[in-house]
Amino acid sequence: MHQEQTVDEQINIFFDPKSVAVVGASRKVNKAGYVIFKNFAENKRTGLFKGELYPINPNEDTILGYKCYPTLTKVPIDEIELVVVIVPAAVVPEVMEDASQKKSKAAIIITSGFGETGNHELENRIREICLKSGIRVLGPNCLGVYDPLTGIDTLFLPETKVLISGEEVIATPRPIPGEIAVITQSGAFGAATLDYLAGRQLGISKFVSFGNRLDLDESDLLQYFFKDEATKGILVYLEGIKDGKKFMEISQKVTEIKPVVVLKTGRTNAGAKAAMSHTGSMAGADDIYNTVFLQTGIIRASDMNEFFDNCKALVFQPPASGNNIAIITDAGGPGIMAADECEFKGLKIGELSGESVKALEEMRQRKEIPEYASISNPVDLTGSVTTDMFVNVTKIILEDSTLNGIIILGLHHVPGLQEDFIDRIANLTKYYTKPVVFCDIGETEMALYVRSKFEKFGIPAYASPEDAARAMASLYNYGLYLLKQNKLNDFLNKFMKK
């Protein structure tokens, strides 16, 4: 029916539809159908969402001021591009038949209770309707999509909640527009990802939760984000891959131009069983997944922390063209911690070049760094460090072609380090294709401020030396992959132009 469109064009309708109907829209504020309809109505009120909007509910005349229709077929326009479905599972086939009559092009089925609970028959009925009508589907059993630029927000998770004290607080934040695309099989973890990204003030290009992937799957979405100009890096949470061959072909192409970080769960027998009842996914042998990710240049995160940590590194910084890493620190112990973790992860804390050592010696003679500073790798500027020392030493290491990346440990507690250190380091490093990651330890005001300010300048910042080292390892692994594909220089050239 819609054969003239490419899959990318079909997926684009989910993010930018001309008309939307919310089937199961509700006036009851604690229900999913209320939250979703309100998201659309609010974004239409502010002018962010520009399409037509229709609530569908047989028991209401109006919802939030919009005339309500008992069924999709009663809406007085010929075609409704996107249908969002939040009615109980047994009713969904009937709703999809109506959507087909209404020439809908896309449907997001939020409803649970299909293949993941063994109800394959119901899921197959919907698949048949969609195949016949050409409607592309996200879900069932998903959250759908969020696009900060077009105002499409099918998350049934209210943005704010009211505490017992009466105070209204952010509950499920919607991140600001940015460059990270999120693809997730788990809606709940997807929502947690949005919370994390918003909390860190990291922006997203688009968010998609696809649940049971009755139709569109992770590969289709990767292919879509390959072309999406707003997307610079892609975060993927997976419980299983639907079609291994298709996934490999597409991801190989994507990783040549955009980093992809995957968190693949269901690694143990217990995890695999949980994945089957969550989204009906076959988790498969973990070793095979490791091989697939390695062969396609996907960076696999071993846990949730690494998922976010690697994402920041790969989106903000260029990949490392080798594994010889420099550590510049004002704290001896954390410098050793970073060095240990680097070696565990296959990085080398190699020698500085002769020129760097000479330049550092000269700085020491001119008393620009303390005579007790260590000028081998890790370079330890000690508690007597100043902003000037950090900046000047970083410049020497940036110029050192034997070194492929820099971990800066700038613990803020020392007296000589002032805030302009952040601005000056950020200003300096942006002219180089050498990746830089930062670490400051602490959970109180200053440490949080320092890390957040570094990240605003595009330097990923970590709360432990080990996290910083692991992030650098992901930059190296991605660089190594691109190098083997003969794509590293192209990637670096494009990265510098952005």
For residues 219 and 246, the answer to whether their CB atoms sit within 8 Å is yes
- What is the DSSP-derived secondary structure letter of residue 173? P
Distance CA 375, CA 408 (A): 14
Number of residues that bind ligand ACO (CB under 6 A): 28
- 110 lies in the site for ligand ACO, by CB under 6 A: yes
- 141 lies in the site for ligand ACO, by CB under 6 A: yes
- 19 lies in the site for ligand ACO, by CB under 6 A: no
Residue 316 vs residues 71, 205, 232, 342, 432: alpha-carbon distances, Å: 47, 14, 9, 20, 13
What size, in residues, is the chain? 498
Minimum separation from the CB atom of position 176 to ligand ACO (A) = 22
For residues 282 and 243, the answer to whether their CB atoms sit within 8 Å is no
Residue found under tokens 């034997």: 402
Pick between residue 271 and residue 332 the one whose CB is nearest to ligand ACO: 271
SS3 call for 312: helix
Pick between residue 211 and residue 266 the one whose CB is nearest to ligand ACO: 211
For residues 356 and 400, the answer to whether their CB atoms sit within 8 Å is yes
Where does this chain touch ligand ACO (CB under 6 A) — which range of 22-30, 248-256, 294-302, 329-337?
Answer: 22-30
Where does this chain touch ligand ACO (CB under 6 A) — which range of 57-65, 160-168, 363-371, 429-437?
Answer: 57-65
Count of beta carbons in the 10 Å neighbourhood of residue 382: 17
Minimum separation from the CB atom of position 114 to ligand ACO (A) = 9
Pick between residue 131 and residue 188 the one whose CB is nearest to ligand ACO: 188
Q: Which of 26, 43, 223, 324 binds ligand ACO (CB under 6 A)?
A: 26
For residues 185 and 207, the answer to whether their CB atoms sit within 8 Å is no
Where does this chain touch ligand ACO (CB under 6 A) — which range of 137-145, 194-202, 437-445, 460-468?
Answer: 137-145
Pick between residue 28 and residue 498 the one whose CB is nearest to ligand ACO: 28
Minimum separation from the CB atom of position 372 to ligand ACO (A) = 55
Question: In the bound complex, which residue of the shown chain has the CB atom lying closest to ligand ACO?
Answer: 187
For residues 381 and 390, the answer to whether their CB atoms sit within 8 Å is yes
Distance CA 461, CA 467 (A): 9
- 186 lies in the site for ligand ACO, by CB under 6 A: yes
Q: Which of 22, 36, 95, 375 binds ligand ACO (CB under 6 A)?
A: 95
- 403 lies in the site for ligand ACO, by CB under 6 A: no
For residues 376 and 407, the answer to whether their CB atoms sit within 8 Å is no
- 387 lies in the site for ligand ACO, by CB under 6 A: no
Q: What number of helices (H) and strands (E) belong to the chain?
A: 17, 21
Pick between residue 86 and residue 263 the one whose CB is nearest to ligand ACO: 86
Pick between residue 23 and residue 135 the one whose CB is nearest to ligand ACO: 23
Count of beta carbons in the 10 Å neighbourhood of residue 489: 12
Q: Which of 21, 22, 23, 314 binds ligand ACO (CB under 6 A)?
A: 23
Pick between residue 117 and residue 384 the one whose CB is nearest to ligand ACO: 117
Q: Which of 45, 77, 88, 456 binds ligand ACO (CB under 6 A)?
A: 88
Pick between residue 266 and residue 479 the one whose CB is nearest to ligand ACO: 266
Residue 411 vs residues 166, 313, 379, 454: alpha-carbon distances, Å: 39, 19, 14, 13
Where does this chain touch ligand ACO (CB under 6 A) — which range of 56-64, 295-303, 409-417, 465-473?
Answer: 56-64
Q: Which of 35, 143, 275, 396 binds ligand ACO (CB under 6 A)?
A: 143
Pick between residue 85 and residue 338 the one whose CB is nearest to ligand ACO: 85
- What is the DSSP-derived secondary structure letter of residue 324? B
Distance CA 374, CA 364 (A): 10
Residue 212 vs residues 58, 186, 209, 257, 282: alpha-carbon distances, Å: 28, 9, 10, 28, 11
Q: Which of residues 423-442 bind ligand ACO (CB under 6 A)?
A: none
Q: Which of residues 59-78 bind ligand ACO (CB under 6 A)?
A: 59-60
Where does this chain touch ligand ACO (CB under 6 A) — which range of 173-181, 182-190, 212-220, 314-322?
Answer: 182-190
For residues 482 and 319, the answer to whether their CB atoms sit within 8 Å is yes
Strand partners, 300: 262
- 187 lies in the site for ligand ACO, by CB under 6 A: yes
Q: Which of 11, 21, 87, 393 binds ligand ACO (CB under 6 A)?
A: 87
- 219 lies in the site for ligand ACO, by CB under 6 A: no
- Dihedral sign for Cα atoms in the order 21, 24, 26, 28: negative
Q: Which of 100, 112, 133, 255 binds ligand ACO (CB under 6 A)?
A: 112
Beta-carbon contacts of 211 under 8 Å, excluding residues fewer than 6 positions away, are: 138, 139, 140, 141, 142, 143, 185, 187, 279
- 55 lies in the site for ligand ACO, by CB under 6 A: no
- 86 lies in the site for ligand ACO, by CB under 6 A: yes
Pick between residue 171 and residue 248 the one whose CB is nearest to ligand ACO: 171
Residue 240 vs residues 136, 175, 182, 187, 252: alpha-carbon distances, Å: 21, 27, 16, 15, 18
Pick between residue 143 and residue 411 the one whose CB is nearest to ligand ACO: 143
Distance CA 382, CA 417 (A): 11
Q: Report the run of H or E that residue 82 belongs to, with start and end.
A: strand 82-85
Site residues, ligand ACO (CB under 6 A) = 23-24, 26, 28, 31-33, 56-60, 86-88, 91, 95, 110-113, 141-143, 186-188, 211
